[in-house]
Structure 1
């Protein structure tokens, strides 16, 4: 959801530029900063952003300046200049460089140029043109985000394919869990009570109970279903929030798979599965 857009405009002696940026965010948050006197633009900017985006932190900045007319009277603020000059002379007596005329006139507030005021009709026309520039900057931002999404899509598909491969490996490994549990339990019982009557029956019952607890078929079935859902969502944007939820479900099943694992190999697959899911989750934060 990162991106950048810019647009410029000019009308009736005004020039301006708009920059639109966005970064990742669970929900949509729009921030706007613009010039005084054009307050309606903030509402328009937020409404336009909401019409284009569903997620991300969007920042809009509009910088504008009015061209100064050549015949505008320039006024020197003499009382302020006198205070500056008095202070400068005191510093000069202490060894500082004496003030120059151009330096004094460059001090803030010494020269005052009264700003021209637009009439209501002109101000409304300029604001309407600024609104069009805002729209253009947001369109550029949207195009930027779409380009990033197009580049990201193959990466997301690769992660989903990797998860599918690991689920297949887990299914193959899980088929040997019952026998592994039985062998382990047989050795343990034989070590503790090698001559106990009915040992085989007890081993079978206990191993069956443990195997039932270690059955991961439901988790694997749900993981397979989640893979199908992920592919469907990636083909039907915007799907960022739905994918966020799906990542939680992926991780829940992977955690259960690891906790039920009875073999080192299956545990290793489960841990790798969790790592890939986490990588996919991080990339999903970029999805609209």
Structure 2
């Protein structure tokens, strides 16, 4: 049975085999990332009518991914199994007993001669329903293993994303801590430029310039949105069910805020933080492409 996990990767592989008197079955399922559920089947000719059943089994347990499924079947040396017709053999035996009673000197036939009598040996064909049932059970087992593999990989992806979210929060905190210094530095630089130009200082104009600088350097709104998006990503990771598309959308929103932060940067420190944010977001986005 597939293990419980809140994050599932779309990348996994599973293989199961079964050997029986009638032959050998092998099932392989490969899964890679895809925006929607896209199953493809390669089935043995005798098992082609199983495809609708197998397709439904995939649909009920998987939400996304390109799924390659193959079911191979190798029959025993012959698809026909010889068997003795017990009723026909018993009838011949009774007839021989009757002859023996009437003609005591009659020589009884050998075993081979009995088997060569018409109707004693008959051919039994393989039960295709038994083979199909075996193939379906083997497919379900492979699907369980695939889900286990997707869950294990998903746990690793979730851990990686959470670590990057922590790093994003640290960068946001760094920028917040720098804001007072940035604003003060910008104010001092503006006053210095005005002093050098020996310009008559109009208090109202000066105040307007300072307000403009403060607005350009103020990234509180972007930092708030980054924090909110980080929290939403963590919340989505904790939810059950498919979440890859929602997480991908959140990566776009995070990247938009990081770009805005970069464009409003007025000092090297915030530029470096913005670049680091974009690197972290891209690392998460690449991994989120594999999440169901």
Structure 1's 14 and 211: CA in aligned 2 closer, same or farther, altered over 3 A?
same
Measured in 2, the distance between the counterparts of 1:118 and 1:172 equals 80
The match for 2:239 is 236
Q: TM-score of the superposition, structure 2-length normalised?
A: 0.75
Measured in 2, the distance between the counterparts of 1:124 and 1:70 equals 14
Structure 1's 7 and 185: CA in aligned 2 closer, same or farther, altered over 3 A?
same
Measured in 1, the distance between the counterparts of 2:23 and 2:184 equals 81
Q: Which moved more, 1:148-157 or 1:58-67?
A: 148-157
Q: Which runs of 5+ in 1 are unaligned?
A: 73-115
Measured in 2, the distance between the counterparts of 1:151 and 1:71 equals 50
RMSD of Structure 2 on Structure 1 (CA): 2.4
Measured in 1, the distance between the counterparts of 2:186 and 2:211 equals 9
- Which of 214, 217, 227 is 1:224 aligned to? 227
Determine which structure has more spread, i.e. the larger CA radius of gyration: 2
The match for 2:205 is 202
Measured in 1, the distance between the counterparts of 2:79 and 2:246 equals 59
User: Matches of residues 248-267 of structure 1 in structure 2 within 5 Å?
Assistant: 248-267=252-271
Q: Which moved more, 1:210-219 or 1:3-12?
A: 3-12
| Contact 1:33/1:42, CA 8 A, preserved across alignment | no
The match for 2:282 is 278
- Which of 55, 66, 69 is 1:46 aligned to? 55
Measured in 2, the distance between the counterparts of 1:62 and 1:117 equals 25
| Contact 2:14/2:30, CA 8 A, preserved across alignment | yes
Deviation at 1:168, TM superposition (A): 0.7
| Contact 2:22/2:79, CA 8 A, preserved across alignment | no
Give deviations 1:228-280, integer Å, cap 9, x for gaps: 11111111143222111111111011110111111111111111111111111
Structure 1's 181 and 8: CA in aligned 2 closer, same or farther, altered over 3 A?
same
User: Matches of residues 102-251 of structure 1 in structure 2 within 5 Å?
Assistant: 122-191=127-196, 193-198=197-202, 200-237=203-240, 238-251=242-255
The match for 1:109 is none
1:188 alignment partner, SS class: helix
- Which of 72, 80, 92 is 1:63 aligned to? 72
Structure 1's 67 and 197: CA in aligned 2 closer, same or farther, altered over 3 A?
closer
Deviation at 1:117, TM superposition (A): 10
| Contact 1:10/1:16, CA 8 A, preserved across alignment | yes
Deviation at 1:282, TM superposition (A): 1.3
Deviation at 1:133, TM superposition (A): 1.2
Structure 1's 70 and 150: CA in aligned 2 closer, same or farther, altered over 3 A?
closer
Ranked by relative contact order (alpha carbons within 8 Å, sequence separation 6 or more), the top structure is: 2
Q: Which runs of 5+ in 2 are unaligned?
A: 1-9, 82-122
The match for 1:36 is 45
Give deviations 1:143-195, integer Å, cap 9, x for gaps: 1111122233322211111111111111111233322322232233334x413
Q: TM-score of the superposition, structure 1-length normalised?
A: 0.76
| Contact 1:22/1:59, CA 8 A, preserved across alignment | yes
